[in-house]
Structure formats: structure tokens, C-alpha cells
Chains A and B, each alone.
Chain A
Amino acid sequence: MSESTSANTPKPSSSVKLVLLGEAAVGKSSLVLRFVNNDFQENKEPTIGAAFLTQKCSLPTRTIKFEIWDTAGQERFASLAPMYYRNAQAALVVYDVTKPSSLTKAKHWVAELQRQASPGIVIALVGNKLDLTNDGNETAGESAATDEGATPAGEGEGADGENQADEEEEEQEAAPGDARKVSTQEAGTYAEEEGLLFFETSAKTGVNVVDVFTAIANAIPESSLKSGRGPGAGTGQTTLGGARPAEDSRVNLGERTAATAKEGCAC
């Protein structure tokens, strides 16, 4: 499914404002870059203020155009955040599965959003950098589980994922090379309590990335959708931060779909 197909069959299109929040260097920008460009950069410029990008997501009944505000993660930028989550309909709160403090920060963000953001905001909790854990070591393959606790099932190493309630140290010893410090269960339980969507992803390998956005698109109540703001708005990716001409490349949708043929989301 490419843009052309969705253009041929005009589906109702609506735009959704989505904001990314989370501690510095958990991979917020990388997630977006993966979603929008299907690309990964090892040394991404830190986001100054916020970067703005858009990407379409095609659902069976409609097309969602995400207007993504990717915010800076450094602690002191937190006071700028209200500017960005204003009117947001969806939020991605990202933490790093190898860094427990980032989950704490994520919880703060969830609390802040629940109290201050627009009511009915759809929040997804995302544990990124799955590639650094044993679960993520197998290359980006099947990632069917879109519901809560999206750990890839099966395979010998995957079994570790079940026992992740154990002590971190034990885990470390049990599986050398596994940098995981936040168990799926811990974050999952929290997400369930708070009624959040929950995923573990890897922006590097692409595991689960598109699924997050698809799940959000599905979770947005139909009623809260505004109709699209003019088709001319374009799918272009526009980063506030890097406006260097060299980087100014448009999203190549064709290539992207070829690379990761995903169900549901035709972006």
C-alpha cells in the first residue's frame, strides 16, 4: 500500500497532533526518524526545542496524518514542554529499557500529561533500545503483538523475557550482553494501571516502531478527529533543527514501503 493507492481510494483523512516526551537520549528522535524516514542515524543532532515532522498512516477506514512534535529531552527543556503538548491528541512517552531512571522520568511525563494535556489524550508508553537486550538481538522480524506487553514471543532467548521480574544483577549474570534494566513486566504493569498503550521498540532495528503509531492511530476516538487540514499540507518531513540543505530530502515513500511491508500502516 503506497501513497498512490490511498490517493486512488479516497478515505477520510484526518490529522493528529502527536508529541514525544521522555528523558534525553532515549531515542525519541530516532523513533520518529525510523517512522518517518525508515532511517537510523547513530549520531543524531540533539533536538533543540522541538522538531516537527509529519507522516501518514493508513488505516482500513481512514488515513491519519500524524503531526509529530519531537521534543528535546534534556531536563531543563521540560519547562518548554507545555508549549508542545498543547492540544496534542496523542503522546509517545519514551524510556530506555537499559536505563531505569528513564522510566521514572517517563512516569512523571505521564502524570503531567494526564493532568495538564487535553482530556482524552492517547498516551503510549514506549521502551526503546530493545536491540540492546537479548529480546531485541534477533533482527527485526515478526512483531505481531501489538497489544500490551509486546515482547517478541518464542525462541530460547525470548524466555529470558519472562523472568524479567528478577533482580537486575541476576539478569545481568544470567544473560551477559543483555543490557536490559527495566523488565517488560514492570513497565507493562504500570502501563496497564494507567491505561496506556505499551510497546518495546528498537529504533535501530525497527522492531515495533510502526506498530506503535498504528496502535495510536487506532486508539484515537473517531469523534476527536478533525478532518484533514488541506491536502496541500504535504507529507514532507520538516525538521526545525536541521535545516541544512543537504538534509533536505523528502520522504521517499516508495522505498520505505518496500523496506518494511507492514500491515495496516501504509507509510
Chain B
Amino acid sequence: MMQWTSIVQKAQSFIDPANFTLPSLSTSDRNPSKASLFRQQFRLPDSQNPLQEITADLILPVPHTAEQSRPRPGNRYTGRLHLSERFICFSTQPTSFLPGATHAHSTHWAGPTNGAGPAGNGFTIPLSAIRRVERLNSVSHVFSLALTTWNGALGKQPAGVFVPQRFTLQLDGSRQACERFCDGLKKGLREGMKEIENLRVVVNDCYSEFLVTAVKSKDQSGENAESRPPPDAGLGMLFRYPGDARKLRDRSKMRLWGEYFRENGRNATLIRQPTFHKLIRVGLPNRLRGEVWEISSGSLYLRLRSPRLYTDTLSKFSGQESLAIDEIEKDLNRSLPEYAGFQSEEGIGRLRRVLTAYSWTNAEIGYCQAMNIVVAALLIYMSEAQAFFLLSVLCDRLLPGYYSTTMYGTLLDQKVFESLVERTMPVLWDHLNKTDVQLSVVSLPWFLSLYINSMPLVFAFRVLDVFFLEGPKVLFQVGLAILRVNGEELLEVQDDGSFISVLKSYFSRLDESAHPRSENPKLRAITRFQELMVVAFKEFAGITHATVIEERDKHKDAVLDNIESFAKRTSIRNLGPDSKKLSMDDLGVIYDRFYEVLYDRLQRERVREEELRRLEKRRAERTSTLGPPADHEVGRVGLGPSPSHMDYEGFREFLAATAKWALGDSPGPSRSPSGASSGAAGWRGFGRSPSPGRPAPADHEFMRRLYRKWATDPDEGLSLQNVVHGLARLKGPRDIMNNIQYFFTLYDDRGNGTVDREGILRMSEALLFLSRRGFDGTITPTQTLDEFGHPDRDAQPSEPLSTDERFLGSVSAFIRRCFEYADPSTPGGSPGASPSIPADETADKLASVRIGDDDDGSGDLLDVGDEATPVHHRKASESANPALDPNNPLHITLPTFRMVILADELLEQFFDAFFPRSFRLSVDSHPAVTAASTLSRLRRGASGGIVPPGRGLRGVLDNIVTDGIRMAAEVKKRMDEAQRDMERNAVARGDDDEDEDDEDESAPLTTPSASTPTTVGGMSNWGAGAYEADRDLLEGAEVLSVREKDAASLLDESPEGGLGNGSRESKQSPSSDENRRPGSSSPHNSHATDKDEHVVSKVEFDS
């Protein structure tokens, strides 16, 4: 079998010589990347990637220690030799991590490993530990390398005979493949030489080094061997190790390990043979336990890479405080308090330092209860630095997500465990279900604290011995075995309480004989713990790493969903009193959208970083073709700490998903044209795909104001609470006054209750911006009635206009009225003071602009319904209102603003209904989707600001809209010009309202379509994009024209679904009719709309 696979692999390496240069970017599936599988198998640090691999034979020499007494041949293993940047690894597990290898090939080790652990027999040796590589001459054209290591040669050179560790590798591949491997090795060795000092430091901390050399020197120089103090092998050296050393046969285990180390190398240069695994299964001796954990878990290699990380971290953060530290402090006195070492300052100090250092290096996890217990247990057998690195391997690799802030890994593995119980012990499972005993409440602490808190310590450590070698599946095997062994008793249990007490009494008698009444003394000698181990690893040998991975995959989404709904509930509940103004559904939508945007951005950010890093790496190291894996999961609340604040960019996206008007008018510049039409399919993919088809959010000054208004600290960003608070003000109980005031304060830059000229213009821009995608039926003008009521009044009788057109008029009237009713800001100057000449001219021009508007029929006509306007208007154009004089700074106050708004029916409705309602929360149809499709439709249409002939109504309206904008821009232009004049004239005048956009004054005027995101630029920008938006808006108009009004508005509302929008709508329509025109009746109204319809289509026909 093994031969067959090696043949296959050999064949593959022949077939695909490009293997080593092909980049593998296929991380799209759920499978972890090959690189991460590789690292997992050999327990390598995250920096390592599979660079080269080849089938090879490992030939070990005849052990020099045994040469005279029992001559035996050296062992020979066939397997796979792998090379990473800093390591050479050999394993009898026939795995392959080449880009071309199948997933099954890469996960070969995930199957039953027969106790050998994922790395099988073989070695994982840092290249820095290799002293010499010789190519052996061989007769049979076999490519053989002899490796000599630094094993034992790094410390004080022992006197006398020193036999260096030396073994042979026979590469089994094409000459070309072998050469390539050797080249890679050569390069790695050169790099590795730089790390030899690290190796020396780390190795000298290893107890094995002390053990072997001490014994040696004892042999040579008699009794003065204890000259060097033994390295730190944990608190056990000071406070005794748990358990009875004699009963544990510690001494003979020590002897066996000493022998093993001498024959097979130690610590960094250890070679794993079957004895290694057997020695671990029988339990590690106290003083070597920590070190072997380090080797089998791979934490040794982390320590090797940065031996001083632990002490550096401690000194770097010394004296700093954190939440984690507070939490750690609470638990220090209650971590394995029954162990003497943790009743002393020494033990508690070590525990504090390790937990604290880890919380600094991994802030995402920080500190989780249960870590204190695990680390306390580790510290009995290892030094602080060793425990620090082992903890990091535990959290990152062996217990993924266990200690995260959502503990999803813990919950997930409970689900996995439950499903394994169901599968392997269906009868017991049924019984538990029937009696309503929840298994996971019992088993959760087993996994979370690695049985340390459940079994007596001596036994828990035996489980740990195997766990570090073979991985997480061990926890499941032991758990299943516990239930199996106690199966009969558990079947009689009726409730949680008795379930727990059965297991508890079992754990307390683990040291007793499993067969106390057996005749056979050998059988009688078997303890319950031994029996447990046998059941776990024999009977449940079928539970492999692959099983666990598969089950985790199966349950992951459900577990995360549960956590997320819990997190959502909690989060929504804690949003403060403002949130009560919004419905639960609305809050839910805000919550989802908020995190959707945050994670989406996070994901895109990662992808970008990833790409950059990959590019950089490829440039730097040509050999390393495999990019770093993207297997670090992000993108779900359930996975751990989530980003909590949204910057302005994120806020734009949030708004774009909430309100139609916040969608950009053109797709982002970075997007390919085809991307825009591909639709918004990826949108709901919640951070899983960067969803390139989404239209870019708009960027308007109004949005920025909203952002600043909502944020507690704009630099920090918006929290969920900020967003809810902001929306609650707008979407809370309907209150037009509140909305008007809110809008006003958005522009009250100085916070003194006034808005100046600049602000007024910005307000009008915002009104146009907000309205440019139509009103969705929230605004229903009634002035048509008026028109019909006084047909004689109008020179151009009833060219009926759509709501959108009318609104344009309203906005222009808004500007006019604001200026008209504004108060001059200069306290000394009287309102009627004679303006200077240039200003006078400007005022005239202003007036003429307005007259021009009148002429082309858009400006005034729109105001026909309003009785007040024409009068004011005439007044305004005849005599220049001093407030219109740009030389006179002016301002409006809230009451003025309110009056101006309420004076116009459309604006009133705008603030009463449209503005608050334009923020869509619990709606079925996503505004982004509709907008995206509109956009793509638009893109297919003609482009350019000029209306092509024969475009009918559309063209007419386009012109009107553009005129409206032109009007606003013109007003602004005049203002700005006058302002400049004034500045030229008046020197001493300190200016109040021009501090923001000095450089914008002229630029946008000359290049109206410049896309500078500043105010004026924004204005022209909007002008440029307007024709598209307008057409969008007109599509709405056409719909309106075909259908009866009420039906149309109903239709518009219908996708909004839940949340009583419908009811609100029905309330709104009659009320707006009534309070505006008490005399009018609804049928009349609908009749008018009917007429409307006819005329509109006529217009279309005409043109």
C-alpha cells in the first residue's frame, strides 16, 4: 500500500515538473490550504510553507550505544521528505502538499495514525540544527545524503568520545527532482546557520540535554556531576510533582527516555521511532514531560524562532493594564489551589506572568477562564517560556476557538461530541434525550480544561501526553470512552444530577482496579484508567482527525448562527433607551447591516493585504511560491471579537444599503464596466465575497454631516449604538418638527442656532441630493387642484408636472425664501443699508437668473400652487433684498427655516414623510438591488449631458432637472464671485463662512464636472451624474403616469413588507390631503391625477 502510494507520488513528480513554481491560490473552498495542513502535520510555525518534497528512505545507523551488547541492524523507513523555509521533515505518513496533490493526499495523516500522531515516524528538524550534509557516493546511482546534526554538540563539549548524530536519506526520484531538492536544502541550510545561536539557547534549556550529558559526565568524572544546575522543569521541581513517583515508575521511565535520547537524538534533533510513541502512551516521566509536550506539540519550534519573545513581551508591556489583566488577577488565587505550588507567591507569580504575556500577544483572545487552569497545569512541568509557547499552540491550533470571546470552538466541539455519541452509542444517546439530560453541560468542562479539572491530576496529565502528540481527536476518544465504560450505569440515570454523580465517582476511582474480582492477577492489576485508555484508543480508533474535521464542518454554521443570534439579542438589548423608539425588526436590520458592512470591508481589506503580501513575497523569494494561507477565518460575529466601529467609508456603504439616495450615481472607478451589470448577487454573502457588483455608495457632503452628527468621536468611528441613536432620532415616532429641527442642526456648524448663506446653499444641495432618486410615493402634491381651481391664473395653463419637477421648484423657492427671510448677520448694519455697487450688480444678475428661470418655465411655474410665492418672488426680483447681497452676511434661524419649510407643501411632506422614510430598515427588497439593476439599465442607455432628440418626456424633464441644478450652481457662483469681490474690497472684515472651501471657489466653476468631493465640486459632480439619476427618477415618473396614484404608491410600498409601513402609508395620504387643502376632496384629487396622466402622455407624444 505504502509502496503503491509512493509510486504514485513519484509518478506525479515526474509528470509535473512545474510543480514547484506554480502558485496555488485555490483557497476558495472550505478546505484549509495545503500549507496549513503541512504545518499542522509537522507542527511547524505559521511562517513555514511546503517548498520541496520527495519520496525518500530514512536509514538510521546502528545505535552506537548498543553496538557491543546487542548488535541490531539500523532501522529503515520509507516515507516522504519535506522541506520548508527553515525545516526539514520526514514522515512515514505518505502525505503530499504539492500544489498538484489532491486533498486526500494532503490529509493522509488525518486518518488513523495508530498512535503515531500526525507526523508519524520520522523527524522535524530545524535546518539550523544540521551541521553537515554530505552526498554519498553510491554504486547503484542512488541519490544519498548523509546528515550530521548538532545533536549534543552545542553545549559544553563533553570530554572523551563524542559520537555525532548522523543518518542517511536516500532520495527516491528523478535525478532532476533530487538535484532540485538538494538545491533547496543548500539554500535553507545557509539561512539556517543564522539561527544557530537561538538553537543553542533553546537547547540548553532542555532537560533532556541535562539528563544525557549529566549521565555522561557521571560516567566519566565520577560524582561531581551536579556542577551545573538542572534546567527549569516546572514548579514540580520545587513543590514536588503530583502523584507518587514510585508508583508512577518515574525512575525507570526516565532511564528509558535517556536511552531513547542517546540513540535517536533529543529535543530539536529527535527522531521519532515507534518507541517514542509507546513511551508517550505509558506516561511521561515528570522532568521530561514538559519538554516532550513541547516537541510533540511543536511549541518548541516557536520558541526556537524567537526565544526571547516571552521575556520581551513581559518587559514591553510591563506596568500596563488591561481588562484581561483584571480578569487574570481575579483567578490567580483559584487556579489548581490544591497544588502547593499555587499556594505560593512563586507559583502564582509564574501563572500571572504567563497569562499576562499571552494576553498581550493575542489580544483577540486575551484571557478566558479555564486558561488559568490549563496554564497552571502546564507550569507544574515546564518553565514559564515553555508554557507561554505551548499555550499559544493550544489556542491557535489544538483548541481552535475554544477560548475566543464567543467560545465558538468550545460550543462547536460539544456539538461534534454529541453527534459522535449519537453515532457510536445510539442507545445511550436515546436515553439521554428521553430523560432530558443535556450531555454538553457535563462534557464541556472536559474539553475546555482538558480534563484537568475533571480527573485527578495524574490521570489528566496522561491524557495530555497523548493529546499533544496526536491532537484534538484524543479529547473526543477519551470522552467517548468515559461514556462507554460507564454506559450501564448511565442508562439508569434519570436526571442531570445523577448523571454527574455517576461520572464524578468514576473519576475519583480511576486508580482502582478495573477488574477487582478477577482471578487473573494481571487483569486485576489493570487500573480503571488503563482500561479507559485502551477503550479510548482501541475501541474508538475510528475517531480520527478527519472525523473531527468533518463533523466540525457539518455543525459549524448552526453553532455560529446560534451564537450570533444570542449576540444580536444581547447587543440589541443593550443599545440604550433610544433604541426603544425603533421596532425590534428595525434594530435587527440595523444590526445586521452594520456588521455586514464592517465585515465586508474587513474581508476586502484582508484580501487586499493578502494580495500585497503575496506579491511582495514572490518578488522576495522565488522559491516560495505558495502564498500564505487565507485560512484565518474572519467575517462572522460568532468567530470572535468583531470590529466595533465604522469609519466614514463604512458609513457610506451602510447608508447605501439603507437609503436609495446614498447610492452613487456612477459605479466606482476601479470597477470594470461588466462588473456593474453583474448585479448585486454577492451582496447578501455577508463578508464572504467582496461583492464587486455593488454600486458604489455616493459621497455627498450631507452624508458627511450625518456621520459627524452621529458619531461620538468621528475619528473613532460610529458604534452600533451611534447608528441606532442616529436612526432613532429620524425613524422614531413621526414628528415633522423634530425632523426639520434635525436637518437644521445638521447645518448649524457653529452650534449657535443659525445657518449662514453657505449653509443654506448646502441645505438646498442636500435637498436635491436626497430627492434625486424620487420619492417612492411618499410625497403627493395637491396643487394640481389649485391649478384646476383657478385655470385663469396661469399663462401656460396646466403643463402638469411630476412630483419630482415640482420638488425642484420647491427647492428653488426654498433658497429664495431663505434669503428673503434671512436676518443679516452684522449686528451694526441695518437691513436696508445701501449695498456697494458691485454687490448691486450681482443682485441684479441674481434676479435676472431667476427671471430666466421663469422664462423657460421651470422655476416659477412650479410654485403656482403656493399663494405666497409669486408675491414674494416678484418682490424679490424687483427690489434687491439686502439679504441677497453677498456682501451682507446673513443667517437663518430655526424658526425661519421651519417657516420656510412649512410654507411649501412638498418640503413639508419631504420632512414629514420622505426624509425619515427614506432610511429603509426592515424591508424585504434591498434598495441596493433595485438600484443596481437600474444602474445597469442606465448604463446601457445613451450617455452625455445633451438630450438626444426624440427622447420625449425624458428629455424635457432632463432639461428641467439640469436647469434646476444649473440654477443652484449659478446662485452659488454669484455668491462666490461676490464674496471674492467683497474680500478684495473689505480688508478688515473677519470672515465667518468661507473657511472651508477657499480652493473650491473657482475650480468647479470652470470644470463643472470635476469630481472633487467638496461642496461645490460635489454639486457639479452631482450635476454630471444627474442625468443618470434623473432618468432613474423618471422611470418612477413614468410608472406614476401609467397608474392611478394610490395604486402606484401602494405598489412602491409593497416590497417594504413588514413593520406596518403600509398602515403608515394609509394614514399619510388622507392626512396630507386634508391638512393642506381642507376644501378639496379625495375623488377630485384622483380625478386630477387622471387628467395628469393624460396630459403627461400627451407631452410625450408631442415631443
What is the interface of chain A, defined by CB distance below 8 A to chain B? Answer: 15, 24-25, 42-50, 52, 54, 67, 69, 72, 74-80, 82-84, 86-87, 108, 111-112, 115-116, 229-230, 232-234, 236, 238-248
Contacts and interface: CB of A to CB of B under 8 A. Distances in A.
Contact of A229 (B368, B494, B573): B494
Given A108-B570, A240-B500, A243-B455, A80 B410 contact: yes
A46 B441 contact: no
A265 to B, nearest CB: 19
Interface string B991-1022: 00000000000000000000000000000000
Contact of A48 (B445, B570, B573, B574): B445
B454 A43 contact: no
Contacts of A74: 327, 368-369
Contact of A52 (B334, B337, B497): B497
Contacts of A116: 569
B343 to A, nearest CB: 9
25 contacts: A15-B495, A24-B369, A25-B330, A45-B337, A46-B330, A46-B334, A46-B372, A48-B449, A48-B453, A52-B500, A74-B327, A76-B405, A76-B406, A77-B369, A79-B406, A79-B563, A83-B444, A233-B494, A234-B498, A234-B501, A236-B497, A238-B501, A240-B454, A243-B508, A245-B508
Contact of A240 (B369, B370, B436, B442): B442
A233 B435 CA distance: 13
A63 to B, nearest CB: 15
A229 B507 CA distance: 24
Q: Which of A42, A72, A236, A243 has the most CB of B within 10 A?
A: A243
B331 interface: yes
Q: Shortest 5 CB-CB distances between A and B: which pairs?
A: A49-B444, A43-B333, A238-B500, A48-B445, A245-B508
Given A112-B573, A238-B504, A240-B442, A233 B497 contact: yes
Nearest to A65: B497
B338 interface: yes
A78 B444 CA distance: 14
B495 A67 contact: yes
A243 B507 contact: yes
Contacts of B456: 243-245
Given A43-B333, A52-B496, A236 B574 contact: no
Interface in B439-473: 440-442, 444-445, 448-449, 453-456
Q: Which of B372, B496, B508 has the most CB of A within 10 A?
A: B496
B407 A243 contact: no
Contacts of A243: 453-456, 504, 507-508
Nearest to A86: B438
A15 B435 CA distance: 14
Interface string B316-352: 0000000000010011011101100000000000000
A116 B566 CA distance: 10
B441 A84 contact: yes
Q: Which of B440, B497, B566 has the most CB of A within 10 A?
A: B497
Contacts of B116: none
Contacts of B496: 52, 67
Interface of B: 327, 330-331, 333-335, 337-338, 368-370, 372-373, 403-408, 410-411, 436, 438, 440-442, 444-445, 448-449, 453-456, 494-498, 500-501, 504, 507-508, 562-563, 566-567, 569-570, 573-574
A15 B497 CA distance: 11
Given A15-B495, A77-B369, A79-B563, A246 B338 contact: yes
Given A46-B330, A50-B444, A83-B440, 18 more contacts: A15-B495, A24-B327, A42-B333, A46-B334, A46-B370, A48-B373, A52-B500, A67-B497, A75-B405, A76-B404, A77-B369, A78-B570, A80-B411, A115-B569, A239-B504, A240-B454, A243-B456, A246-B338
B504 A248 contact: yes
A102 to B, nearest CB: 13
A198 B438 CA distance: 30
Contacts of A78: 566, 570
A48 B448 contact: yes
B1027 to A, nearest CB: 51
Q: Which of B333, B438, B504 has the most CB of A within 10 A?
A: B504
B448 A49 contact: yes
Contact of A79 (B327, B403, B407): B407
Given A52-B500, A108-B574, A244 B368 contact: no
B494 A240 contact: no
A233 B495 contact: yes
Contacts of B334: 43-46
B497 A80 contact: no
Contacts of A248: 504, 508
B779 to A, nearest CB: 39
A114 to B, nearest CB: 10
B595 to A, nearest CB: 16
B377 to A, nearest CB: 13
Contacts of B455: 243
Contact of B407 (A76, A229, A233): A76
Nearest to B501: A238
B1003 to A, nearest CB: 52
A248 B506 CA distance: 12
Q: Which of B330, B495, B507 has the most CB of A within 10 A?
A: B495
A243 to B, nearest CB: 5
Contacts of A52: 441, 496-497, 500
B453 to A, nearest CB: 5
Given A229-B495, A241-B445, A243-B454, A236 B501 contact: yes
Nearest to A71: B441
Contacts of A87: 436
